[in-house]
Protein backbone atom coordinates (compact mmCIF):
# COMPACT_ATOMS: atom_id res chain seq x y z
CA UNK A 1 0.00 0.00 0.00
CA UNK A 2 1.58 3.23 -1.16
CA UNK A 3 -0.80 5.76 0.37
CA UNK A 4 -2.30 5.81 3.87
CA UNK A 5 -5.75 6.78 2.65
CA UNK A 6 -6.08 3.64 0.54
CA UNK A 7 -6.87 1.88 3.81
CA UNK A 8 -10.45 3.19 3.72
CA UNK A 9 -11.07 0.34 1.29
CA UNK A 10 -10.73 -2.17 4.12
CA UNK A 11 -14.05 -1.56 5.93
CA UNK A 12 -15.79 -1.46 2.52
CA UNK A 13 -14.44 -4.91 1.70
CA UNK A 14 -15.28 -6.33 5.12
CA UNK A 15 -18.86 -5.07 4.81
CA UNK A 16 -19.04 -6.50 1.29
CA UNK A 17 -18.06 -9.96 2.48
CA UNK A 18 -20.46 -9.80 5.43
CA UNK A 19 -23.40 -8.92 3.18
CA UNK A 20 -22.29 -11.63 0.71
CA UNK A 21 -22.85 -14.19 3.48
CA UNK A 22 -26.36 -12.80 4.04
CA UNK A 23 -27.07 -12.99 0.32
CA UNK A 24 -26.14 -16.68 0.15
CA UNK A 25 -28.14 -17.58 3.28
CA UNK A 26 -31.25 -16.07 1.71
CA UNK A 27 -30.43 -17.77 -1.59
CA UNK A 28 -30.45 -21.10 0.22
CA UNK A 29 -33.79 -20.26 1.82
CA UNK A 30 -35.30 -19.47 -1.59
CA UNK A 31 -33.77 -22.55 -3.16
CA UNK A 32 -35.48 -24.68 -0.53
CA UNK A 33 -38.78 -22.84 -1.00
CA UNK A 34 -38.69 -23.92 -4.64
CA UNK A 35 -39.16 -27.52 -3.50
CA UNK A 36 -40.61 -27.20 0.00
CA UNK A 37 -43.05 -24.45 -0.88
CA UNK A 38 -44.20 -23.57 2.64
CA UNK A 39 -40.71 -23.44 4.20
CA UNK A 40 -40.59 -20.45 6.60
CA UNK A 41 -44.01 -19.28 5.41
CA UNK A 42 -45.50 -16.89 6.50
CA UNK A 43 -42.44 -15.53 8.40
CA UNK A 44 -40.34 -15.10 5.24
CA UNK A 45 -42.42 -15.40 2.07
CA UNK A 46 -40.48 -16.08 -1.14
CA UNK A 47 -40.84 -12.52 -2.44
CA UNK A 48 -39.23 -11.12 0.73
CA UNK A 49 -36.38 -13.64 0.62
CA UNK A 50 -35.80 -12.76 -3.04
CA UNK A 51 -35.72 -9.03 -2.37
CA UNK A 52 -33.17 -9.60 0.37
CA UNK A 53 -31.13 -11.96 -1.85
CA UNK A 54 -30.95 -9.64 -4.87
CA UNK A 55 -30.67 -6.37 -2.95
CA UNK A 56 -27.87 -7.71 -0.77
CA UNK A 57 -26.06 -8.77 -3.94
CA UNK A 58 -26.36 -5.30 -5.44
CA UNK A 59 -25.37 -3.56 -2.21
CA UNK A 60 -22.36 -5.76 -1.49
CA UNK A 61 -21.10 -5.44 -5.07
CA UNK A 62 -21.45 -1.66 -4.72
CA UNK A 63 -19.45 -1.85 -1.48
CA UNK A 64 -16.89 -3.85 -3.43
CA UNK A 65 -16.74 -1.36 -6.30
CA UNK A 66 -16.45 1.57 -3.90
CA UNK A 67 -13.75 -0.12 -1.86
CA UNK A 68 -11.90 -0.95 -5.07
CA UNK A 69 -12.19 2.65 -6.25
CA UNK A 70 -10.91 4.05 -2.95
CA UNK A 71 -7.95 1.71 -3.18
CA UNK A 72 -6.96 1.99 -6.81
CA UNK A 73 -7.69 5.64 -7.55
CA UNK A 74 -5.17 7.09 -5.06
CA UNK A 75 -2.55 4.62 -6.25
CA UNK A 76 -3.16 5.37 -9.92
CA UNK A 77 -3.36 9.11 -9.24
CA UNK A 78 -0.19 8.96 -7.15
CA UNK A 79 -1.60 10.99 -4.31
CA UNK A 80 -3.65 10.60 -1.15
CA UNK A 81 -7.43 10.42 -1.42
CA UNK A 82 -9.00 13.90 -1.41
CA UNK A 83 -10.94 13.17 1.79
CA UNK A 84 -10.64 9.88 3.65
CA UNK A 85 -13.03 11.25 6.29
CA UNK A 86 -15.78 11.74 3.71
CA UNK A 87 -15.18 8.21 2.43
CA UNK A 88 -15.57 6.82 5.97
CA UNK A 89 -18.69 8.90 6.62
CA UNK A 90 -20.22 7.55 3.41
CA UNK A 91 -19.28 4.04 4.45
CA UNK A 92 -21.33 4.29 7.63
CA UNK A 93 -24.25 6.01 5.92
CA UNK A 94 -24.37 3.32 3.25
CA UNK A 95 -23.99 0.47 5.71
CA UNK A 96 -26.68 1.76 8.05
CA UNK A 97 -29.06 2.62 5.19
CA UNK A 98 -28.51 -0.83 3.71
CA UNK A 99 -29.04 -2.62 7.02
CA UNK A 100 -32.18 -0.63 7.86
CA UNK A 101 -33.59 -1.34 4.39
CA UNK A 102 -33.03 -5.09 4.72
CA UNK A 103 -34.55 -5.11 8.21
CA UNK A 104 -37.49 -3.17 6.79
CA UNK A 105 -38.03 -5.85 4.13
CA UNK A 106 -37.91 -8.57 6.77
CA UNK A 107 -39.99 -7.05 9.55
CA UNK A 108 -42.45 -4.62 7.96
CA UNK A 109 -45.10 -5.70 5.45
CA UNK A 110 -44.03 -4.28 2.08
CA UNK A 111 -47.21 -2.22 1.54
CA UNK A 112 -46.76 -0.69 5.00
CA UNK A 113 -43.08 0.00 4.28
CA UNK A 114 -44.09 1.78 1.07
CA UNK A 115 -46.63 3.89 2.93
CA UNK A 116 -44.17 4.79 5.71
CA UNK A 117 -41.39 5.86 3.36
CA UNK A 118 -43.19 8.24 1.04
CA UNK A 119 -43.92 5.89 -1.85
CA UNK A 120 -47.28 7.64 -2.27
CA UNK A 121 -45.46 10.89 -2.98
CA UNK A 122 -43.14 9.38 -5.57
CA UNK A 123 -43.87 5.74 -6.38
CA UNK A 124 -40.62 3.96 -7.19
CA UNK A 125 -40.96 0.70 -5.24
CA UNK A 126 -42.15 -2.77 -6.16
CA UNK A 127 -40.13 -3.13 -9.34
CA UNK A 128 -37.63 -5.95 -9.64
CA UNK A 129 -34.22 -5.02 -8.13
CA UNK A 130 -35.47 -1.46 -7.49
CA UNK A 131 -37.57 -2.42 -4.47
CA UNK A 132 -35.74 -0.01 -2.15
CA UNK A 133 -37.84 2.58 -0.33
CA UNK A 134 -37.49 6.16 -1.55
CA UNK A 135 -35.14 7.29 1.28
CA UNK A 136 -32.80 4.40 0.47
CA UNK A 137 -32.76 5.33 -3.21
CA UNK A 138 -32.02 8.95 -2.29
CA UNK A 139 -29.33 7.67 0.09
CA UNK A 140 -27.71 5.67 -2.71
CA UNK A 141 -27.56 8.81 -4.86
CA UNK A 142 -26.04 10.87 -2.03
CA UNK A 143 -23.42 8.24 -1.22
CA UNK A 144 -22.57 7.84 -4.90
CA UNK A 145 -22.27 11.58 -5.48
CA UNK A 146 -20.11 12.11 -2.40
CA UNK A 147 -17.87 9.26 -3.55
CA UNK A 148 -17.65 10.65 -7.07
CA UNK A 149 -16.76 14.09 -5.75
CA UNK A 150 -14.08 12.56 -3.55
CA UNK A 151 -12.62 10.41 -6.32
CA UNK A 152 -12.89 13.05 -9.04
CA UNK A 153 -11.03 15.57 -6.88
CA UNK A 154 -8.33 12.97 -6.33
CA UNK A 155 -7.94 12.24 -10.03
CA UNK A 156 -8.12 15.90 -11.06
CA UNK A 157 -5.19 16.76 -8.81
CA UNK A 158 -3.21 13.67 -9.64
CA UNK A 159 -1.88 11.51 -12.45
CA UNK A 160 -4.47 10.55 -15.04
CA UNK A 161 -4.21 7.00 -16.29
CA UNK A 162 -6.53 4.97 -18.48
CA UNK A 163 -7.34 2.84 -15.44
CA UNK A 164 -8.44 5.61 -13.13
CA UNK A 165 -10.30 7.44 -15.89
CA UNK A 166 -12.20 4.32 -16.94
CA UNK A 167 -13.00 3.46 -13.32
CA UNK A 168 -14.27 6.97 -12.75
CA UNK A 169 -16.29 6.96 -15.96
CA UNK A 170 -17.87 3.65 -14.98
CA UNK A 171 -18.82 4.95 -11.54
CA UNK A 172 -20.24 8.18 -12.98
CA UNK A 173 -22.29 6.10 -15.40
CA UNK A 174 -23.49 3.95 -12.52
CA UNK A 175 -24.72 7.01 -10.62
CA UNK A 176 -26.29 8.67 -13.66
CA UNK A 177 -28.20 5.64 -14.92
CA UNK A 178 -29.47 4.92 -11.41
CA UNK A 179 -31.47 8.14 -11.70
CA UNK A 180 -33.86 6.29 -14.03
CA UNK A 181 -35.01 4.36 -10.97
CA UNK A 182 -36.94 7.46 -9.94
CA UNK A 183 -38.96 7.41 -13.17
CA UNK A 184 -41.96 5.13 -12.86
CA UNK A 185 -44.73 6.06 -15.29
CA UNK A 186 -48.19 4.47 -15.06
CA UNK A 187 -47.70 3.23 -18.62
CA UNK A 188 -46.32 -0.25 -17.99
CA UNK A 189 -44.42 -0.40 -21.29
CA UNK A 190 -42.60 2.86 -20.60
CA UNK A 191 -41.98 1.76 -17.02
CA UNK A 192 -40.32 -1.44 -18.27
CA UNK A 193 -38.49 0.36 -21.08
CA UNK A 194 -36.71 2.77 -18.75
CA UNK A 195 -36.31 0.24 -15.93
CA UNK A 196 -33.77 -1.40 -18.24
CA UNK A 197 -31.86 1.86 -18.45
CA UNK A 198 -30.85 1.15 -14.89
CA UNK A 199 -30.60 -2.63 -14.98
CA UNK A 200 -29.15 -3.33 -18.41
CA UNK A 201 -27.01 -0.21 -18.70
CA UNK A 202 -25.52 -1.15 -15.33
CA UNK A 203 -24.70 -4.81 -15.76
CA UNK A 204 -24.16 -4.93 -19.52
CA UNK A 205 -22.82 -1.39 -19.75
CA UNK A 206 -21.03 0.76 -17.22
CA UNK A 207 -20.31 -2.05 -14.75
CA UNK A 208 -18.15 -3.61 -17.44
CA UNK A 209 -16.02 -0.46 -17.38
CA UNK A 210 -15.63 -0.83 -13.62
CA UNK A 211 -14.84 -4.52 -13.99
CA UNK A 212 -12.30 -3.85 -16.76
CA UNK A 213 -10.53 -1.16 -14.73
CA UNK A 214 -10.32 -3.37 -11.64
CA UNK A 215 -9.02 -6.32 -13.62
CA UNK A 216 -6.47 -4.17 -15.45
CA UNK A 217 -5.25 -2.70 -12.16
CA UNK A 218 -4.69 -6.09 -10.57
CA UNK A 219 -3.08 -7.52 -13.73
CA UNK A 220 -0.52 -4.71 -13.87
CA UNK A 221 0.37 -5.38 -10.26
CA UNK A 222 0.60 -9.15 -10.33
CA UNK A 223 2.17 -9.60 -13.78
CA UNK A 224 4.38 -6.55 -14.12
CA UNK A 225 3.40 -6.31 -17.80
CA UNK A 226 3.90 -2.91 -19.37
CA UNK A 227 1.09 -0.47 -18.59
CA UNK A 228 0.83 0.61 -22.24
CA UNK A 229 -0.11 -2.93 -23.25
CA UNK A 230 -2.62 -3.43 -20.46
CA UNK A 231 -4.31 -0.10 -20.97
CA UNK A 232 -4.62 -0.72 -24.70
CA UNK A 233 -6.44 -3.98 -23.95
CA UNK A 234 -8.64 -2.19 -21.45
CA UNK A 235 -9.75 0.40 -24.02
CA UNK A 236 -10.48 -2.21 -26.68
CA UNK A 237 -12.48 -4.35 -24.24
CA UNK A 238 -14.64 -1.54 -22.93
CA UNK A 239 -15.08 -0.15 -26.47
CA UNK A 240 -16.51 -3.53 -27.50
CA UNK A 241 -18.60 -3.66 -24.33
CA UNK A 242 -20.38 -0.39 -25.09
CA UNK A 243 -20.51 -0.78 -28.87
CA UNK A 244 -22.34 -4.10 -28.47
CA UNK A 245 -24.07 -3.51 -25.16
CA UNK A 246 -25.82 -0.18 -25.72
CA UNK A 247 -27.95 -1.35 -28.66
CA UNK A 248 -27.78 -4.88 -27.23
CA UNK A 249 -30.30 -3.57 -24.71
CA UNK A 250 -32.78 -4.33 -27.49
CA UNK A 251 -32.79 -7.96 -26.35
CA UNK A 252 -34.98 -6.84 -23.47
CA UNK A 253 -37.41 -5.10 -25.80
CA UNK A 254 -38.74 -8.10 -27.71
CA UNK A 255 -41.95 -8.90 -25.81
CA UNK A 256 -42.84 -5.94 -23.60
CA UNK A 257 -44.98 -3.90 -25.98
CA UNK A 258 -42.15 -2.14 -27.81
CA UNK A 259 -41.89 -1.99 -31.64
CA UNK A 260 -40.86 -5.28 -33.24
CA UNK A 261 -37.77 -3.78 -34.93
CA UNK A 262 -36.07 -4.26 -31.57
CA UNK A 263 -36.00 -7.98 -32.37
CA UNK A 264 -33.46 -7.21 -35.10
CA UNK A 265 -31.45 -4.58 -33.29
CA UNK A 266 -31.43 -6.61 -30.10
CA UNK A 267 -30.55 -9.94 -31.71
CA UNK A 268 -27.72 -8.61 -33.88
CA UNK A 269 -26.00 -6.46 -31.27
CA UNK A 270 -26.51 -8.67 -28.25
CA UNK A 271 -25.16 -11.63 -30.23
CA UNK A 272 -21.91 -9.64 -30.25
CA UNK A 273 -21.97 -9.01 -26.49
CA UNK A 274 -19.85 -12.12 -25.74
CA UNK A 275 -16.93 -10.51 -27.61
CA UNK A 276 -15.78 -8.15 -24.82
CA UNK A 277 -16.10 -10.99 -22.30
CA UNK A 278 -14.09 -13.33 -24.50
CA UNK A 279 -11.47 -10.61 -24.80
CA UNK A 280 -11.35 -10.36 -21.02
CA UNK A 281 -10.49 -14.06 -20.87
CA UNK A 282 -7.76 -13.63 -23.49
CA UNK A 283 -6.55 -10.52 -21.72
CA UNK A 284 -6.19 -12.20 -18.32
CA UNK A 285 -4.43 -15.30 -19.69
CA UNK A 286 -2.19 -13.34 -22.07
CA UNK A 287 -0.99 -10.97 -19.39
CA UNK A 288 -0.33 -13.77 -16.91
CA UNK A 289 1.57 -15.73 -19.58
CA UNK A 290 3.68 -12.70 -20.39
CA UNK A 291 4.34 -11.90 -16.73
CA UNK A 292 7.64 -10.32 -15.83
CA UNK A 293 7.51 -11.21 -12.17
CA UNK A 294 6.28 -14.00 -9.94
CA UNK A 295 3.91 -12.31 -7.56
CA UNK A 296 3.73 -14.12 -4.20
CA UNK A 297 -0.07 -13.70 -4.15
CA UNK A 298 -1.02 -16.75 -6.23
CA UNK A 299 -4.61 -16.64 -5.01
CA UNK A 300 -5.18 -13.19 -6.52
CA UNK A 301 -3.82 -14.40 -9.86
CA UNK A 302 -6.19 -17.37 -9.72
CA UNK A 303 -9.19 -15.12 -9.08
CA UNK A 304 -8.13 -12.82 -11.95
CA UNK A 305 -7.93 -15.72 -14.38
CA UNK A 306 -11.15 -17.16 -12.97
CA UNK A 307 -13.15 -14.00 -13.45
CA UNK A 308 -12.04 -13.84 -17.09
CA UNK A 309 -13.21 -17.38 -17.78
CA UNK A 310 -16.40 -17.35 -15.71
CA UNK A 311 -17.55 -13.94 -16.95
CA UNK A 312 -17.22 -15.24 -20.50
CA UNK A 313 -19.13 -18.43 -19.69
CA UNK A 314 -21.84 -16.83 -17.59
CA UNK A 315 -22.39 -13.52 -19.32
CA UNK A 316 -21.08 -14.45 -22.77
CA UNK A 317 -22.05 -18.05 -23.49
CA UNK A 318 -25.13 -18.34 -21.26
CA UNK A 319 -26.23 -14.91 -22.42
CA UNK A 320 -25.87 -15.82 -26.09
CA UNK A 321 -27.77 -19.05 -25.46
CA UNK A 322 -31.09 -17.21 -25.19
CA UNK A 323 -30.44 -13.80 -26.70
CA UNK A 324 -31.67 -14.32 -30.27
CA UNK A 325 -35.32 -13.29 -30.58
CA UNK A 326 -36.64 -16.60 -32.02
CA UNK A 327 -34.99 -18.51 -29.16
CA UNK A 328 -35.91 -15.93 -26.54
CA UNK A 329 -39.55 -16.25 -27.57
CA UNK A 330 -39.50 -19.63 -25.80
CA UNK A 331 -36.94 -18.98 -23.04
CA UNK A 332 -38.11 -15.52 -21.89
CA UNK A 333 -39.01 -15.50 -18.21
CA UNK A 334 -38.00 -19.12 -17.57
CA UNK A 335 -35.34 -20.78 -15.43
CA UNK A 336 -32.93 -20.24 -18.35
CA UNK A 337 -32.88 -16.57 -17.38
CA UNK A 338 -32.17 -17.55 -13.78
CA UNK A 339 -29.32 -19.84 -14.87
CA UNK A 340 -27.70 -17.05 -16.90
CA UNK A 341 -28.22 -14.49 -14.15
CA UNK A 342 -26.47 -16.61 -11.52
CA UNK A 343 -23.36 -17.43 -13.48
CA UNK A 344 -23.04 -14.01 -15.08
CA UNK A 345 -23.19 -12.16 -11.77
CA UNK A 346 -20.84 -14.58 -10.10
CA UNK A 347 -18.35 -14.76 -12.96
CA UNK A 348 -18.21 -11.11 -13.84
CA UNK A 349 -18.91 -9.11 -10.73
CA UNK A 350 -18.54 -11.33 -7.66
CA UNK A 351 -15.23 -12.73 -8.89
CA UNK A 352 -13.76 -9.41 -9.96
CA UNK A 353 -14.56 -7.89 -6.57
CA UNK A 354 -12.96 -10.90 -4.87
CA UNK A 355 -9.95 -10.53 -7.20
CA UNK A 356 -9.53 -7.00 -5.96
CA UNK A 357 -10.06 -8.00 -2.31
CA UNK A 358 -7.64 -10.89 -2.69
CA UNK A 359 -4.93 -8.64 -4.07
CA UNK A 360 -5.42 -5.64 -1.75
CA UNK A 361 -6.37 -7.15 1.61
CA UNK A 362 -2.91 -8.60 2.38
CA UNK A 363 -1.33 -5.25 1.44
CA UNK A 364 -3.69 -3.38 3.73
CA UNK A 365 -2.75 -5.85 6.46
CA UNK A 366 0.96 -5.06 5.99
CA UNK A 367 2.22 -7.89 3.79
CA UNK A 368 2.64 -8.59 0.08
CA UNK A 369 0.73 -11.84 0.27
CA UNK A 370 -0.84 -14.18 2.79
CA UNK A 371 0.93 -17.28 4.01
CA UNK A 372 0.99 -20.37 1.76
CA UNK A 373 -1.53 -22.13 4.02
CA UNK A 374 -3.96 -19.22 3.91
CA UNK A 375 -3.64 -19.06 0.12
CA UNK A 376 -4.25 -22.78 -0.25
CA UNK A 377 -7.48 -22.42 1.74
CA UNK A 378 -8.47 -19.41 -0.35
CA UNK A 379 -7.83 -21.36 -3.54
CA UNK A 380 -9.95 -24.22 -2.24
CA UNK A 381 -12.74 -21.73 -1.68
CA UNK A 382 -12.26 -20.51 -5.26
CA UNK A 383 -12.74 -24.00 -6.65
CA UNK A 384 -15.64 -24.92 -4.38
CA UNK A 385 -17.60 -21.76 -5.11
CA UNK A 386 -16.80 -21.77 -8.81
CA UNK A 387 -17.57 -25.44 -9.43
CA UNK A 388 -20.72 -25.15 -7.30
CA UNK A 389 -21.82 -22.19 -9.41
CA UNK A 390 -21.20 -24.15 -12.61
CA UNK A 391 -23.49 -26.88 -11.29
CA UNK A 392 -26.14 -24.42 -10.11
CA UNK A 393 -26.14 -23.03 -13.64
CA UNK A 394 -26.29 -26.45 -15.29
CA UNK A 395 -29.16 -27.64 -13.07
CA UNK A 396 -31.13 -24.45 -13.65
CA UNK A 397 -30.50 -24.79 -17.38
CA UNK A 398 -31.84 -28.34 -17.28
CA UNK A 399 -34.84 -27.23 -15.22
CA UNK A 400 -35.46 -24.38 -17.66
CA UNK A 401 -35.19 -26.54 -20.76
CA UNK A 402 -37.66 -29.04 -19.35
CA UNK A 403 -39.94 -26.28 -18.09
CA UNK A 404 -40.06 -24.68 -21.55
CA UNK A 405 -40.76 -28.00 -23.22
CA UNK A 406 -43.57 -28.98 -20.84
CA UNK A 407 -45.20 -25.59 -20.53
CA UNK A 408 -44.59 -23.91 -23.87
CA UNK A 409 -43.81 -26.46 -26.60
CA UNK A 410 -45.48 -29.81 -25.84
CA UNK A 411 -48.62 -30.70 -27.79
CA UNK A 412 -50.67 -30.44 -24.60
CA UNK A 413 -48.95 -27.72 -22.58
CA UNK A 414 -48.91 -28.06 -18.81
CA UNK A 415 -49.82 -25.30 -16.40
CA UNK A 416 -47.02 -23.48 -14.57
CA UNK A 417 -47.18 -25.36 -11.27
CA UNK A 418 -47.66 -28.76 -12.92
CA UNK A 419 -44.47 -28.15 -14.92
CA UNK A 420 -42.65 -26.97 -11.78
CA UNK A 421 -43.47 -30.26 -10.06
CA UNK A 422 -41.94 -32.15 -12.96
CA UNK A 423 -38.58 -30.38 -12.65
CA UNK A 424 -38.29 -30.56 -8.86
CA UNK A 425 -35.36 -32.99 -9.02
CA UNK A 426 -33.22 -30.31 -10.65
CA UNK A 427 -34.23 -27.79 -7.99
CA UNK A 428 -33.08 -30.23 -5.31
CA UNK A 429 -29.73 -30.65 -7.04
CA UNK A 430 -29.41 -26.89 -7.37
CA UNK A 431 -29.99 -26.57 -3.63
CA UNK A 432 -27.26 -29.12 -2.87
CA UNK A 433 -24.88 -27.21 -5.16
CA UNK A 434 -25.87 -24.11 -3.23
CA UNK A 435 -24.82 -25.75 0.02
CA UNK A 436 -21.43 -26.58 -1.52
CA UNK A 437 -21.16 -22.93 -2.56
CA UNK A 438 -21.85 -21.94 1.04
CA UNK A 439 -19.10 -24.27 2.30
CA UNK A 440 -16.76 -22.55 -0.18
CA UNK A 441 -17.80 -19.17 1.17
CA UNK A 442 -17.15 -20.23 4.78
CA UNK A 443 -13.74 -21.48 3.71
CA UNK A 444 -13.08 -18.17 1.97
CA UNK A 445 -13.79 -16.25 5.18
CA UNK A 446 -11.70 -18.73 7.18
CA UNK A 447 -8.73 -18.01 4.92
CA UNK A 448 -8.52 -14.48 6.33
CA UNK A 449 -7.81 -15.86 9.80
CA UNK A 450 -5.12 -18.38 8.91
CA UNK A 451 -1.66 -17.36 10.02
CA UNK A 452 1.71 -18.72 8.84
CA UNK A 453 4.83 -17.39 7.17
CA UNK A 454 3.76 -14.39 5.14
CA UNK A 455 5.54 -12.72 2.22
CA UNK A 456 6.96 -9.41 3.48
CA UNK A 457 5.63 -6.14 2.08
CA UNK A 458 7.79 -4.55 -0.64
Partner 1 sequence: MSSAFTKSAARNIFYGGSVFFFLLLVGLTYDTMHTLPKHDNSANLTESVKRGKHIWETRNCIGCHTLLGEGAYFAPELGNVYVRRGPDFIKAWIKAQPTGAPGRRQMPNFNLSEEQLDDLVSFLKYASEINTSKWPPNIEG
Q: Which is nearer to partner 1, 381 or 433 (CB)?
A: 433
Of 1-9, 113-121, 142-150, 365-373, the segment contacting partner 1 by CB under 8 A is 113-121
Smallest distance from partner 1 to CB 127, Å:
6
CA separation for the pair 406, 337 (Å, rounded):
17
Site string for partner 1, 73-112 (x = CB under 8 A): -------------------------------------xx-
Q: Does 333 bind partner 1 (CB under 8 A)?
A: yes
Smallest distance from partner 1 to CB 33, Å:
7
Q: Does 260 bind partner 1 (CB under 8 A)?
A: yes
Q: Which is nearer to partner 1, 103 or 188 (CB)?
A: 188
Smallest distance from partner 1 to CB 162, Å:
7
CA dihedral 296, 299, 305, 310 (to 10 degrees): -170
Residues numbered 387-416 forming contacts with partner 1, rule: CB under 8 A: 407-409, 413-416
Q: Which is nearer to partner 1, 287 or 299 (CB)?
A: 287
Site string for partner 1, 142-181 (x = CB under 8 A): --------------------x-------------------
Q: Which is nearer to partner 1, 154 or 420 (CB)?
A: 420
CA dihedral 221, 223, 229, 233 (to 10 degrees): -80
Q: Does 340 bind partner 1 (CB under 8 A)?
A: no
Site string for partner 1, 5-44 (x = CB under 8 A): -------------------------x--xx-xxx--xx--
**Which residues, listed in sequence order, are joined to residue 455 by a DSSP beta bridge?**
369
Q: Does 69 bind partner 1 (CB under 8 A)?
A: no
Q: Does 329 bind partner 1 (CB under 8 A)?
A: yes
**One residue of 190, 291, 365, 372 binding partner 1 per CB under 8 A:** 190
Smallest distance from partner 1 to CB 374, Å:
36
Phi, psi dihedral angles at 83 (to 5 degrees) = -145, 95
**One residue of 23, 335, 360, 447 binding partner 1 per CB under 8 A:** 335
Number of residues that bind partner 1 (CB under 8 A): 77
Amino acid sequence: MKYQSQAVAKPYFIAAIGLFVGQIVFGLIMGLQYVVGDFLFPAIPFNVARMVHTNLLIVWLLFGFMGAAYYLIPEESERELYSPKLAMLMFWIFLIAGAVTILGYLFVPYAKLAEMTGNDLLATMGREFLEQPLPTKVGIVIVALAMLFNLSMTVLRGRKTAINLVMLLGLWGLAIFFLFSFYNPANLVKDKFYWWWVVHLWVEGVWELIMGAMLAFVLIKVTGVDREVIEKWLYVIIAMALITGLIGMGHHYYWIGTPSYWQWWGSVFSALEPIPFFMMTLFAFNMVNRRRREHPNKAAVLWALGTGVMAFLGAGVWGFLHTLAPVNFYTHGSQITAAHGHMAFYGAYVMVVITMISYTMPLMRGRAANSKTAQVVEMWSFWLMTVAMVFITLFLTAAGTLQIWLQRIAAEPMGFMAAQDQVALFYWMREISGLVFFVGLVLYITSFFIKGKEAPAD
